Amino acid sequence: MLPDEATSSLGLNRAASSIVLPVHGNVYPIGSYNVTLNIGQPPKPYFLDPDTGSDLTWLQCDAPCVRCTEAPHPLYRPNNDLVVCKDPLCEALHAPGSHKCDNPEQCDYEVEYADGGSSLGVLVRDAFLLNFTNGNQRTTHLALGCGYDQLPGSSYHPIDGVLGLGKGKPSIVSQLSNQGLVRHVIGLAELIVGGKSTGFRNLVMVFDSGSSYTYLNSQAYQFLTSWLKRELTGKPLKEALDDKTLPLCWKGRKPFRNIRDVKTYFKPLALRFASGRKDTTLFELPPEAYLIISSKGNVCLGILNGGEVGLQNSNIIGDISMQDKMVIYDNEKQMIGWGPGNCDQLPKSRSFSFW
C-alpha cells in the first residue's frame, strides 16, 4: 500500500526544478488522494483532488454558492478577474459548435464526471503560489473554475475542488506550458493474465490519478472475471454475495486482515505497452495492485467494468494500480514512465520503464 502521505512532482523548468505537492489519502477506505495548493491574494491553502483524466481546475466558490458540498476549508472567494467568453481557454471548455455564453464578459462552464458528480460555475484567473524543490517560490496567474453549484458523485469525499492535469488547453499543465514553465501524456496495451496473453490487444489505456479503481472495457472485464473464477476453483474462497463494497468479492474461512493473507491465491496481471519500436514495456499488476480488503474482511476485485460507467472502449489505470509505483509524466518527450519506488520520497535514479 502507498503510505497515507506520498509525494507528487511536476517538472517546471529546464534546470530540472520541480513543484512538490504533499499527497494525502489512500485507495480504501477513503478512496482518494488530495494535494494542497495555495491560491489567491493573499494565498490560502486548499485541498484538491488531482485528476490526470480531466482538464479544468476548480474550487468551490463563494460567488455566492448555490449548492456546495462539505469542504475542508472555507469557500474560495474570487477576485474580479473574470475570463471573458471569447478567450481561447473558454472555447476549449466547450464542445465544438456549442461555445456560447449568456454574458460575453464571463465564461460559464459545466463539467461532469464519470461518478455522476458535477461542477457549474465561471472561469476566473488568480494567483497560484508555487514552491520549488530548490527552495524558490513563484507566483503565477492561472485560470480556474469558480464553482458555485456542485453535485457530489458516488465516490464523493470532502474536497475544496479538483486539480485538472489533463492535456487540454484549460489544464494547469497546459497553462504552465504556455507560460514557458513546462513543455507540453494515452497508450495502447495488451492484457496479460498469469503470464499469458489474453488476446486483448490495443486496449486504449488512460493513466487517471482521479480514479480510485482501474477500469477495463466490458469484453476485457468479462474475460478477466471469468478467468479469476476459474483460477479460484478448488481454493478456500467463495463469492461473498452479501458484500457490496465492490461488484466482485470473495470470503475465506475467516476474515482477511490484509492482502498478504490472500495473495498466494491470485496470480499477477500485467499490461504490455508497445512503443512504435520492437521493444515493449510491462506495467505489472501484482495482487496488491488490483485487490482490496473490505471492511467485512473479504477480498474484492479493484478492477471494474468500464462499460457500466460509460467508458465504452476506453480503459483506465487508477490509483489502486499505481500503488508502490512512481509514475512519471514526461511532458518534454510526451512519454509516461514508471518504476517501483518509495512513494513518500522523490526518485533518486532513472530506473524507470518509459513508454
pLDDT tens string 152-173:
887 778 899 999 988 788 988 7
Look at residue 355 in the predicted model and tell me its pLDDT.
Answer: 52
**Nearest alpha-carbon partner for 73 in 65, 81, 61, 58:** 61
Specify the pairing of strand 249-251 against strand 299-301: antiparallel
The closest alpha carbon to 4, from 27, 38, 36, belongs to: 27
What is the residue whose three cell numbers read 494547469? Answer: 172
Question: What is the pLDDT, as a whole number, of residue 1?
Answer: 27
Gap between the Cα atoms of 48 and 37, Å rounded = 7
Q: Which amino acid would we find at residue 227?
A: W
Give the Cβ contact number of residue 174 at 10 Å. 21
Which CATH number applies to 5-178?
2.40.70.10
Sheet-wide strand order for 249-251: 238-239, 249-251, 299-301, 291-293
- Per DSSP, the residues of 280-300 read EEEEEE-GGGTEEE-TTS-EE
Domain boundaries, the chain: 5-178, 187-354
Catalytic sites, residue numbers: 51, 208
- pLDDT recorded at residue 15: 34
Whole-model pTM?
0.57
Beta bridge partners of 3: none
Q: What pLDDT was estimated at residue 43? A: 94
3-class secondary-structure state, position 106:
coil
Q: Which stretches of the chain score pLDDT less than 50?
A: 1-17, 183-185, 349-350
CATH class of 187-354: mainly beta
5-178 and 187-354: same fold?
yes
Strand partners, 281: 273
